[in-house]
Structure formats: structure tokens, C-alpha cells
Amino acid sequence: MGRLAAMSDIAKTALFLASDESNYINGSVIVVDGGWTAYGYI
């Protein structure tokens, strides 16, 4: 994404996990880093 995460990026993920839309997700690590981990930038 070419930028650091904003607080709203993290908040949107937290809201999703608190919603009924995520009711089938369990035991997962959700990385909110704009793709940095996927591209090996860490």
C-alpha cells in the first residue's frame, strides 16, 4: 500500500472481527500491515 497503517485501518479490522460477518473465523492471526509481511519487508 506504500504507507503506514492508520488507526482507522486497525479499527475497521476490529469492527469486522466483532461483527457477525466474522462468526466463522477462529484461531487465526490477521495481519493488518498493508502487505508488508506478504512481500517480506519486515
| CA–CA separation, 9 and 6 (whole Å) | 5
Helix (H) or strand (E) holding 8: helix 7-18
* Spatial CA neighbour of 3 closest among 33, 37, 39, 42: 33
pLDDT digits (tens, 9 = 90+) for 1-42: 778 788 999 999 999 999 999 999 999 999 898 888 888 776
5-14 burial, b for 16+ CB within 10 Å, e for fewer?
eeeeeeeeee
Instruction: Note the pTM of the prediction, 2 decimals.
Output: 0.71
* Predicted local distance difference test score (pLDDT) of residue 3: 81
Longest pairwise C-alpha distance within the chain: 33
